[in-house]
Amino acid sequence: MLCWTLPRLNPNQRIILGLIALAASITTFFLLNRAERKRWVVPTRMMADRIRGLRNQPPSATLEPPAPEFLAIARSVEELREQFREKYRFRKLISRSWGEDDTPRAIPGLENTYSPESGEFNLAHSSDYSTVDMVNRLDPVHFIWIESSIAEQEFLGWTLAELRGKSFLDIVHQDDRNAALETLRQAIERGESLGRIVRILTASAEPKHIELNVGTRYGPDKTISHLRCHLTDVTEKVAAERELRVRTLELTRANEELLRINHELQELKDGYSDLYQNAPAMYFSLNAAEAIIECNRTLLTTLEKTRQEIINQPYERLLAEPSRDGFRSPREKFLHENAVEWQTPWRKSNGEIIEVWISASLVRDPNNQIVHAQCVAQDVTTRRRLEAELERKNESLGRANADLSQKNRELDDFVYVVSHDLQEPLRTLIAFSDFLLKDYGERFDDEGREYVNYLIDASRRMRAMILAMLNLSRAGKVIGDFVPVEVHDLISVVRTDLAELIRAKGAEIRIVTPLPVVWGDWNRLTQLFTNLLVNGLKFNQNASPRVEVGTVDPSEDSGLGGNSKTSDDIDDGFVTIFIRDNGIGIDPEFHETIFQLFRRLHTQDEYEGTGAGLAIGSKIVHAHGGRIWVESSPKAGATFYVQLRRCPSQILGKDQVMVPVPLTVALEGRVDESHSV
- 508-511 and 546-551 as β-strands: parallel, antiparallel, unpaired? parallel
CA nearest neighbour of 518 among 573, 558, 475: 573
End-to-end CA separation in angstroms for the chain:
147
Q: Taking a C-beta distance cutoff of 8 angstroms, is the pair 637, 466 a contact?
A: no
Backbone angles phi, psi at 404, to 5 degrees: -65, -40
* CA angle 445–450–453, rounded 5-degree value: 130
Residue 580 pairs in a beta bridge with 548, 639
203 and 126 in a common domain: yes
616 and 480 in a common domain: yes
Backbone angles phi, psi at 311, to 5 degrees: -65, 140
Residue 366 CA to residue 387 CA, distance in Å, equals 43
- Which pLDDT does position 648 carry in this prediction? 77
Residue 129 CA to residue 109 CA, distance in Å, equals 13
Residue 609 CA to residue 604 CA, distance in Å, equals 7
Q: Say whether 341 sits in a helix, a strand or coil.
A: strand
- Which pLDDT does position 41 carry in this prediction? 58
Q: Per the domain annotation, does 246 fall within a domain?
A: no
* Helix runs in 586-660, H state only: 613-623
405 and 291 in a common domain: no
Q: Per the domain annotation, does 209 fall within a domain?
A: yes
Q: Taking a C-beta distance cutoff of 8 angstroms, is the pair 73, 43 a contact?
A: yes
Backbone angles phi, psi at 377, to 5 degrees: -125, 145
Q: Taking a C-beta distance cutoff of 8 angstroms, is the pair 218, 190 a contact?
A: no
CA nearest neighbour of 222 among 184, 194, 191: 191
Which amino acid, 209? H
Number of C-beta neighbours around residue 342 at 10 A: 16
Q: Per the domain annotation, does 112 fall within a domain?
A: no
Number of C-beta neighbours around residue 95 at 10 A: 8
Element (H, E) at 549: strand 546-551
**How many domains does the chain fold into?**
5
- Which pLDDT does position 536 carry in this prediction? 80
Q: Per the domain annotation, does 193 fall within a domain?
A: yes
Q: Per the domain annotation, does 20 fall within a domain?
A: yes
CA nearest neighbour of 19 among 73, 89, 84, 87: 73
Give me the half-sphere count of Cα atoms (radius 13 Å) on the Cβ side of residue 303.
26
Residues in Cβ contact with 484 at an 8 Å cutoff, skipping those fewer than 6 apart:
517, 518, 519, 647, 651, 652
Burial (CB < 10 A; 0-12, 13-18, 19+), residue 148, is buried
77 and 33 in a common domain: yes
Residue 172 CA to residue 636 CA, distance in Å, equals 94
Residue 76 CA to residue 85 CA, distance in Å, equals 14
Residue 593 CA to residue 568 CA, distance in Å, equals 28
Global confidence as pTM: 0.37
Q: Per the domain annotation, does 104 fall within a domain?
A: no
CA nearest neighbour of 509 among 522, 496, 525, 523: 496
552 and 663 in a common domain: yes
* Helix runs in 279-352, H state only: 297-303, 307-310, 328-337
Backbone angles phi, psi at 58, to 5 degrees: -70, 155
CA nearest neighbour of 278 among 309, 300, 305, 294: 300
Sheet holding 658-659, edge to edge: 483-486, 515-520, 658-659
Orientation of helix 11-31 relative to helix 68-95, angle to 10°? 50
Q: Per the domain annotation, does 63 fall within a domain?
A: yes
Q: Per the domain annotation, does 428 fall within a domain?
A: yes
463 and 336 in a common domain: no
133 and 91 in a common domain: no
289 and 434 in a common domain: no
Backbone angles phi, psi at 390, to 5 degrees: -65, -40
Q: What is the dihedral of CA 62, 63, 65, 70, to 10 degrees?
A: 90
* CATH code for the domain of 173: 3.30.450.20
124 and 218 in a common domain: yes
Which of 233, 258, 290 corresponds to the end of one domain?
233
- Which pLDDT does position 585 carry in this prediction? 76
613 and 491 in a common domain: yes
Give me the half-sphere count of Cα atoms (radius 13 Å) on the Cβ side of residue 369.
5
489 and 572 in a common domain: yes
Q: Find the domain containing 321 and state its range.
A: 280-374
The residues of the chain scoring below 50 in pLDDT are 1-7, 55-56, 59-65, 88-116, 118-128, 562-570, 602, 605, 654-677
Which of 437, 467, 497 corresponds to the end of one domain?
467
Give me the half-sphere count of Cα atoms (radius 13 Å) on the Cβ side of residue 145.
27
Element (H, E) at 267: helix 235-278
651 and 518 in a common domain: yes
